[in-house]
Structure 1
Amino acid sequence: MKNNSKVWYVTGASQGLGLTLVKKLLESGYRVAATSRNAQNLKQAVGVIDTERFLPLVVDLNNPDCVNESIQQTIAAFGNIDVVVNNAGYGMMGAVEEIAEQDIRKIFDVNVLSAVNVVKGVLPFMRKQQSGYIVNVGSVAGFVGAPGWSVYSATKAAIAAFSEVLALDVKEFGIKVTVAEPSGFRTGFLTENSLANINTGIEGYEAVKAARERYLAGNGKQPGDPDKASAILIELAESKEPPLHLYLGQDAYKRASEKIATMAAELEAWKNTSISADFQ
């Protein structure tokens, strides 16, 4: 199979959407550098050993030196990096007062700071080549949250805000940015681990408890198709004008559009109060 021109760098590639994307990229002839915490698990999951097109990397995404080394390895192997997909991340559900501080810091480290580290590492190369495409995988939860997902939603809201301003900063270099914001996909994301920290000893929080039961009951039945999402991401990378925000899944579209309408109505209802805060 001939190589397609673009080189992809994908984080969190040993499972979920990242794994599906890497497989589809390799099937399509792209060259792919993929990161995981365990190289053997990554190789087994991908099932392709082709050193000409596939570079599995063990990377601690919260260690900038390790990230930079992996980027240098990718450049050495393939010559450049055209597309970065910051996919690494995980979910966590629970009432905020029950979630330990170290767990909050950890999820921000993985879901937010790791993406920032990768972007910081790759930008010097993309600026030099005056091109590039960065896809940060967020979530519809970063815009429209559900009960019990406050900390997780905060990490994904941070990714969305980071992506928005990053797009402004790097536009002059020919670099494009998209934040992909899916709803429920059948990727193994929704596990007991992500739903475990909830209401073990606090009375109330009925909305959170009910939401947890709904998510558990729907696990494995999510409407989102990771194969289709991966195909969309590949198509976006070939687009001249990819969107800044892309909601993936009918549920994501519905939730986002309803919130936008609600926000617009509230903004107008409180317009006079808003503008009254200025000096007259």
Structure 2
Amino acid sequence: MKVAIVTGATGGIGKAVVEELKNKGYFVHEVSRKNCDVTNLDSIKTFMSNITNVDVLVNCAGRSHLGYIEDISEDDICSCFDTNALGTMRFCKAVLPIMKKQKNGYIVNIGSLRGIECCKGKASYSMSKFAVRAFSNTLGLEVKKYGINVTCINPGFVFTDLIKYRIAEENLKPEDIIQPSDIAKTVMYLLSLSDGATISELNMGDVWE
């Protein structure tokens, strides 16, 4: 049985990815705030201490922050960056020794179109997601020789509790934007490809001001 780790597993994108992987026969280690803090290296080491096989890592854990640059605090910026960018990096580093020993593995990191196209009031979030993209692309170059593929999925707005208010403002129906299940299915599509069919980045959906 293939083994996966999914961070941010209890809601939104992460929950959908967990369900899809389980439906395809994966054993899934679910990472949530209750059992592992992605901002704490010791917490991650404890979580990983009894895991000896990892075929897939999907980093979905993340947080957002709204605020104009002159108003946001350094703590706000650091908290967003620590979860989104450094949390992603920490879990990637934790699974790399296992995947390198296996000589195979797939890492999917959830970036954002806001890491490509900025808007007012989202500096903290955009900074962190730009970093996720840069890290993912660099990691992919470094680990390809070990049979490990890395893809950064950059979704636009996804139908989760965080943006339901925006859907009403834009007079949209839920089906007009990305569903968490769409991203889960995209993860499974990536896993179905041959080792040589590397997709370093994949953009999905739209964003608006």
TM-score, normalized by length of structure 2?
0.90
Deviates more, 1:227-236 or 1:130-139: 227-236
Query: Aligned partners of 1:97, 1:184: CA distance in 2, in Å?
Result: 25
1:107 matched to 2:80? The reply is yes
1:224 pairs, out of 173, 178, 184, with 178
Offset at residue 127 of structure 1 (A): 0.8
CA contact (8 A) 2:76 2:124 kept: no
Amino acid at match of 2:180: P
What are the equivalent positions in structure 2 for 1:53-92 lying under 5 Å apart?
58-75=35-52, 80-92=53-65
Amino acid at match of 2:154: E
- Please provide the CA RMSD for this pair: 2.0
Q: 1:157 to 1:35 in 2, by over 3 A?
A: same
Query: Aligned partners of 1:63, 1:94: CA distance in 2, in Å?
Result: 25
- 4+ runs of 1 displaced by more than 3 Å? 218-222
Query: Aligned partners of 1:132, 1:59: CA distance in 2, in Å?
Result: 22
**Deviation readout 1:58-86 (Å, 9 max, x if unpaired):** 001122122122223333xxxx1011011
Structure 1: where are the runs of 5+ without partners?
39-57, 193-213, 256-280
Structure 2: where are the runs of 5+ without partners?
none
Tell me the residue number matched to 2:201: 245
1:23 pairs, out of 6, 19, 24, with 19
Query: Aligned partners of 1:92, 1:175: CA distance in 2, in Å?
Result: 32
Query: Aligned partners of 2:159, 2:198: CA distance in 1, in Å?
Result: 25
CA contact (8 A) 1:33 1:74 kept: no
TM-score, normalized by length of structure 1?
0.68
Query: Aligned partners of 1:37, 1:220: CA distance in 2, in Å?
Result: 31
RCO higher in structure (CA 8 A, sep ≥6): 2
Please tell me whether Structure 1 or Structure 2 has the larger radius of gyration of its CA atoms: 1
Offset at residue 145 of structure 1 (A): 1.4
Query: Aligned partners of 1:104, 1:155: CA distance in 2, in Å?
Result: 9
- The percent identity for this pair of structures is 36
1:7 pairs, out of 3, 6, 15, with 3
Offset at residue 135 of structure 1 (A): 0.6
Query: Aligned partners of 1:139, 1:230: CA distance in 2, in Å?
Result: 15
What are the equivalent positions in structure 2 for 1:177-216 lying under 5 Å apart?
177-190=150-163
Q: 2:150 is paired with a residue of what secondary structure?
A: strand
Tell me the residue number matched to 2:125: 152
**Deviation readout 1:211-259 (Å, 9 max, x if unpaired):** xxx677248746112112211111211212241000122x26xx9xxxx
CA contact (8 A) 1:16 1:189 kept: no
